[in-house]
């Protein structure tokens, strides 16, 4: 097959490309330049898309003996990921930009260009597995290494994109094993630090980034009875379940800690209350993506639900109602926020994904 290997400049994508070459594919490497400010170098393990990353990707391609190109997708990334991130927070929701990046950039824009250039598939360094099930259906599964599993942020892909994707690292036992293989292959990125946090917030200060982009909007913090207990500089900077950084000068009457239980950006009010108010028994998501055509989405199906990357799962029953995905949980889940990605699994297999709505019970 003709395979387009996405080279980020990190160790994972370099080893994934190498394995694609070993598999006998005709591989071409491409680095997606996503940042509008790529002149700077990385600071430790924060950020990505710097000129350093581009150079590391080029050296990896040279070592593998494959053609290498840089595609400037910074406008698409800003319009489809960064703007979405800001608008979601401005609306009082808690988005996951990695989900949107995988949806719109890595497995939409990239695949669209790959198709136009005659490639059969795209290979990336994501930790996930694709298995062929009954009737030849390609299923998305968790990776062998649960600590690195990225199926949660890949679930938004949909079955068509899964069919055009290759994840060579899905069967790797650990990141240490990936680094060891990179070193054995002579890839210079074998000891390069992992990037983390939000890539376009290189200093890790998400609250500061939001304030710079959205401006200060002073408002009230109220308790569950409506009493004003504090003030804030922008409701968008808070998320449901948050305990630290509330700036409340006095404790609750019973001395128990208080958490954010609601964010209403229309009234610019943040509501806080006891931990008991954070628990929900029903999850409702919209814009459903169903990856299991052999599992009838309209019929109740046992599942495990996950609402955070690398978060724990809670068992329950899922059913699709039109464009909504509804999960009735066996046990209440705590701190669920609108805008989060809801992913449902059957054992290691991804069944579907949806974006959590405000209406959680």
Give residue 49's pLDDT.
Answer: 60
**Host H or E run for residue 361:** none
Rounded to an integer, the average pLDDT of 139-150 is 96
How far is residue 199's CA from residue 42's CA, in Å, rounded to a whole number? 10
Digit-coded pLDDT (tens) for 88-139: 999 888 888 989 988 888 888 889 999 999 999 999 999 999 999 888 889 9
How far is residue 4's CA from residue 119's CA, in Å, rounded to a whole number? 7
Residue with tokens 């710079």: 212
Pick the range with the lowest mean pLDDT from 14-18, 141-145, 254-258, 309-313.
254-258
Tokens at residue 278, please? 């954070």
Determine whether 339 is exposed, middle or buried from the number of CB atoms within 10 Å of its CB (0-12, 13-18, 19+): buried
Residues of the chain with CATH 2.40.30.10: 278-356
Digit-coded pLDDT (tens) for 214-264: 999 999 999 988 999 999 999 999 999 998 888 886 767 777 889 999 999
Give residue 196's pLDDT.
Answer: 64
Residues of the chain with CATH 3.40.50.620: 2-125+168-184
CATH code at 278-356: 2.40.30.10
Give residue 361's pLDDT.
Answer: 56
Residue with tokens 């210079």: 188
Catalytic site residue from 48, 49, 98, 101:
101
How far is the first Cα of the chain from the last one, in angstroms, to the nearest whole number?
Answer: 48
Give residue 254's pLDDT.
Answer: 77
pLDDT over 80 at 5, yes or no: yes
CATH code at 2-125+168-184: 3.40.50.620
Rounded to an integer, the average pLDDT of 302-327 is 94
Digit-coded pLDDT (tens) for 10-69: 999 999 999 999 999 999 999 998 876 644 544 444 445 666 788 899 999 999 999 999
Q: Which DSSP string corresponds to 82-102?
A: IHHHHHHHHTT----HHHHHI
Catalytic site residue from 48, 98, 199, 303:
199
Give residue 19's pLDDT.
Answer: 98
How far is residue 175's CA from residue 145's CA, in Å, rounded to a whole number? 8
Say if residues 11 and 182 touch (Cβ distance below 8 Å). yes
**Host H or E run for residue 267:** none
Give residue 195's pLDDT.
Answer: 72
Give residue 108's pLDDT.
Answer: 87
How far is residue 57's CA from residue 15's CA, in Å, rounded to a whole number? 11
Q: Which DSSP string corresponds to 316-329?
A: EEEEEETTEEEEEE
Give residue 37's pLDDT.
Answer: 62
Say if residues 6 and 13 touch (Cβ distance below 8 Å). yes
**Closest listed residue to residue 319, CA positions, set 304, 298, 302, 303:** 298
Determine whether 91 is exposed, middle or buried from the number of CB atoms within 10 Å of its CB (0-12, 13-18, 19+): middle
Residue 205 pLDDT class (50, 70, 90 cuts) = confident
Known active-site residue 48 = no
Residues of the chain with CATH 2.30.30.280: 216-273
Digit-coded pLDDT (tens) for 155-203: 999 898 999 999 999 999 999 999 999 999 999 898 888 776 688 887 7
Global pTM reads: 0.89
Residue 325 pLDDT class (50, 70, 90 cuts) = very high
Say if residues 179 and 15 touch (Cβ distance below 8 Å). no
Topology (CATH) of 216-273: SH3 type barrels. (2.30.30)
Known active-site residue 303 = no
């Amino acid at each position: 097959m003709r395979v387009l290997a996405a080279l980020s400049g990190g160790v994972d994508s370099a080893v994934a490309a190498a394995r694609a070459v070993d598999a006998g594919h005709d591989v071409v490497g491409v680095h997606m330049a996503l940042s509008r400010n790529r002149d700077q170098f990385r600071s430790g393990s924060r950020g990505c898309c710097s000129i350093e990353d581009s150079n590391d990707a080029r050296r990896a391609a040279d070592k593998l003996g494959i053609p290498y190109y840089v595609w400037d997708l910074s406008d698409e990334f800003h319009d489809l990921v960064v703007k979405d991130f800001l608008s979601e927070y401005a609306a009082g929701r808690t988005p996951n930009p990695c989900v949107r990046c995988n949806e719109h950039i890595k497995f939409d824009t990239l695949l669209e260009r790959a198709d136009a250039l005659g490639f059969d598939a795209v290979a990336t360094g994501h930790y996930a597995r694709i298995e062929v099930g009954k009737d030849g259906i390609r299923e998305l599964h968790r990776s062998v290494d649960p600590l690195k599993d990225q199926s949660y942020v890949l679930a938004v892909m949909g079955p068509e994109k899964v069919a055009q994707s290759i994840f060579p690292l899905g069967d790797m036992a650990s990141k240490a094993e990936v680094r060891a293989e990179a070193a054995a292959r002579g890839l210079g990125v074998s000891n390069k630090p992992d990037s983390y946090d939000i890539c376009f917030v290189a200093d890790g200060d998400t609250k500061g980034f939001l304030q710079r982009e959205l401006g200060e909007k002073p408002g009230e913090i109220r308790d569950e009875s409506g009493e004003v207990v504090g003030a804030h500089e922008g409701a968008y900077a808070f998320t449901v379940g948050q305990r630290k950084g509330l700036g409340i000068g006095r404790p609750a009457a019973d001395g128990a800690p208080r958490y954010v239980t609601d964010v209403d950006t229309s009234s610019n009010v943040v509501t806080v209350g006891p931990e008991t108010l954070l628990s929900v028994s029903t999850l409702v998501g919209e814009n459903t993506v169903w990856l299991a055509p052999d599992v009838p989405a309209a019929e109740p199906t046992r599942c495990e639900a996950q609402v955070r990357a690398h978060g724990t799962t809670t068992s329950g029953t899922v059913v699709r109602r039109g464009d909504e995905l509804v999960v009735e949980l066996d046990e209440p889940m705590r701190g669920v926020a609108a805008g989060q990605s809801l992913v449902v699994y059957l054992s290691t297999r991804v069944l579907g994904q949806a974006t959590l709505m405000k209406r959680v019970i």
